[in-house]
Amino acid sequence: MMLSNSFNKSAIGAGLPTAQSQPVYRVPSRTGLRVRATVADETAATQQQQEEERGREIRRSLNKTGRYVRTVKNDPDATKALDADGVGYSLTGLVAQMREEGNFWKQGDVTVKLAKAYGYCWGVERAVRMAYEARRAFPGRSIHVTNEIIHNPEVNRRLREMDVNIVKEDPQKGKDYSKIDNGDVVIFPAFGVGAPDMKYFRDKGVNIVDTTCPWVAKVWNSVDTYAKKKCTSIIHGKYSHEETVATASFAEDYLIIKDLNEAQYVCDYILKGGDREEFMKKFSKAVSKGFDPDVHLNRVGLANQTTMLKGETQAIGKMLERTMMEKFGPQNLQDHFMVMDTICDATQERQDALYEITDDPTIDMMLVVGGFNSSNTSHLQEIPHNKGLPAFWVDTADRIDMANNSIAHKLHYGELKVTENWLPEGPITIGVTSGASTPDRAVEEVLERVFRMKDPNFKGIQPRECAPPVLPTH
């Protein structure tokens, strides 16, 4: 598919239909193929619901509008703004200096070891950069993001300060897009959006800035391939996560499983059969419309939410492979099971780096920095927890109470916990990592608060120019 290389301003408002006068909502739908509208004209609403296209057709049609862009302009002024706001890569601060010191830093009694892979991934930095570039490319225009651009509170706060509207979702009604008018700019976040939203904004006549991570799009390609080959997509992910909702909308038949236990349940059902009613109740929110486990589990292909644990996705793949070989015979495996490599490099690298650093016997505790609604960060916290190493997951430095030596931190299964006297007296070695949606500034602020707690006379890290980080080219 050919991609637009620049923001097309000439199409704004040129012969476009007028905005609807009634609220328009994207109602969560497990089919992923309908946009539901609240309009005065019920007939028009019915027609809109019936105008369905396959997800892949909607996706491919966006570029034909002349109002669609998904490339970075590398605007130098945007780079300066990212650095000034602390939402890009560190170029002069502590993290930048640690990169030049072998990911190592010693400040008084505190020794810090930074994981080899940490923080912003290429796709996330790209999304934030494109949002900043969009604000510069469309001065005075109303700009909206269909969800948080990434799962980081500081980044989303900065966008709001730039007068970028982040659309919130009502648990009952879905998302209200009624304030988005023809000629406005709509940004798709790094996780992507589902086919219904793509279709809605394509037809509405807005300018679209698509920051979807190419690795997410790679997963979409896999479920598209499975659909063409009449395979059910088994998606390893969380059914309510934005990325998985989007992925499901590009599949035909699908089943979403969150972990090894659910995978084992599905494999047992494939081999032995079972209570169909119980199966459908268990996965009621995680299957495609019309799903029948007695029909749709005979040919399957594995896909994944890119932020899930690499090892778990691979284990699920092996379970499904063994199950299909046992049921249909090794000679027939290729007719009943498919798997494509859709594990995100960034997720894999951060997990591998954390396994490595937690094997270091000198590490006393881990600090994990990242948004509390970040799936990939939750898995980073899970790794040291499972190894029995004290690990504290915080989203911002504000979680550390310096006066009382307490820390409010989140556990990987969701509980927010306050730990008293978390920072011991005397020398300590701290391992540090951060989620793929976490800018370097967040890590720097957390560490500087730790340094200040250990040494009240700490005056901060003096900035100095450092070499930029080495970035991937894909």
CATH number of 122-213: 3.40.50.11270
The 10s digit of each residue's pLDDT in 213-259 is 998 999 999 999 999 999 999 999 999 999 999 999 999 999 999 99
The 10s digit of each residue's pLDDT in 387-421 is 999 999 999 999 999 999 999 999 988 899 999 99
Q: Give the model's pLDDT for residue 317.
A: 96
Contacts of 437 (CB under 8 A, 6+ apart): 120, 121, 124, 150, 151, 152, 155, 190, 370, 371, 374, 376, 377
Cβ neighbours, 10 Å, residue 422: 17
Q: How large a percentage of the chain has pLDDT more than 90?
A: 76
Report the DSSP beta bridge partners of residue 176. 25
| Mean pLDDT, rounded, for 285-304 | 97
| Mean pLDDT, rounded, for 121-134 | 94
Residue 36 banded pLDDT, cuts 50, 70, 90: very low
Q: Give the model's pLDDT for residue 270.
A: 98
d(CA 51, CA 70) in angstroms, rounded, equals: 26
Q: Is the pLDDT of residue 474 over 90?
A: no
Residue 170 banded pLDDT, cuts 50, 70, 90: confident
Q: Is the pLDDT of residue 27 over 70?
A: no
CB-based contact 246:191 (threshold 8 Å)? yes
The 10s digit of each residue's pLDDT in 51-110 is 457 888 898 899 999 999 999 998 999 988 998 999 999 999 999 999 999 999 999 999
CATH number of 90-121+346-454: 3.40.1010.20
| Mean pLDDT, rounded, for 253-267 | 98
How far does CA 44 lie from the centroid of its chain? 35
d(CA 133, CA 73) in angstroms, rounded, equals: 7
Q: Give the model's pLDDT for residue 156.
A: 94
Specify burial of residue 149 (Cβ count, 10 A radius: 0-12, 13-18, 19+): buried
Whose tokens are 């002349």? That residue is 66
| Mean pLDDT, rounded, for 267-275 | 97
CB-based contact 58:199 (threshold 8 Å)? yes
Residue 33 banded pLDDT, cuts 50, 70, 90: very low
| Mean pLDDT, rounded, for 119-123 | 91
Catalytic residue list contains 420: no
Q: Give the model's pLDDT for residue 2.
A: 33
Q: Is the pLDDT of residue 312 over 70?
A: yes
Whose tokens are 């609220």? That residue is 23
CB-based contact 155:146 (threshold 8 Å)? no
Q: Give the model's pLDDT for residue 262.
A: 98
Q: Is the pLDDT of residue 426 over 90?
A: yes
Catalytic residue among 125, 243, 382, 445: 243
Distance (Å) of CA 259 to CA 44, 119, 370: 42, 25, 22
**Would you kindly state where each structural domain of the chain is located, as residue ranges?**
90-121+346-454, 122-213, 215-343
Same fold, 90-121+346-454 and 215-343: yes
Can you read off the two tokens belonging to residue 389? 């190493």
Q: Give the model's pLDDT for residue 470.
A: 80
Q: Give the model's pLDDT for residue 472.
A: 58
| Mean pLDDT, rounded, for 426-432 | 98
The whole-chain average pLDDT of the chain stands at 88
C-beta pairs of 26-30 under 8 Å, 24+ apart in sequence: 26/174, 26/175, 26/177, 26/194, 26/196, 26/197, 26/200, 27/173, 27/174, 28/174, 28/245, 29/196, 30/248, 30/285, 30/286, 30/287, 30/288, 30/289
Contacts of 311 (CB under 8 A, 6+ apart): 351
Q: Give the model's pLDDT for residue 79.
A: 87
Q: Give the model's pLDDT for residue 343.
A: 77
Specify burial of residue 403 (Cβ count, 10 A radius: 0-12, 13-18, 19+): exposed
d(CA 350, CA 415) in angstroms, rounded, equals: 23
Residue 31 banded pLDDT, cuts 50, 70, 90: very low
Q: Is the pLDDT of residue 16 over 50?
A: no
Residue 169 banded pLDDT, cuts 50, 70, 90: confident
The 10s digit of each residue's pLDDT in 330-369 is 999 999 999 988 878 788 899 999 999 999 999 999 999 9
Q: Is the pLDDT of residue 6 over 80?
A: no
Q: Is the pLDDT of residue 14 over 50?
A: no
Can you read off the two tokens belonging to residue 168? 């919130």
CB-based contact 68:4 (threshold 8 Å)? yes
Tell me which fold the domain 215-343 belongs to: Cobalt-precorrin-4 Transmethylase; domain 1 (3.40.1010)
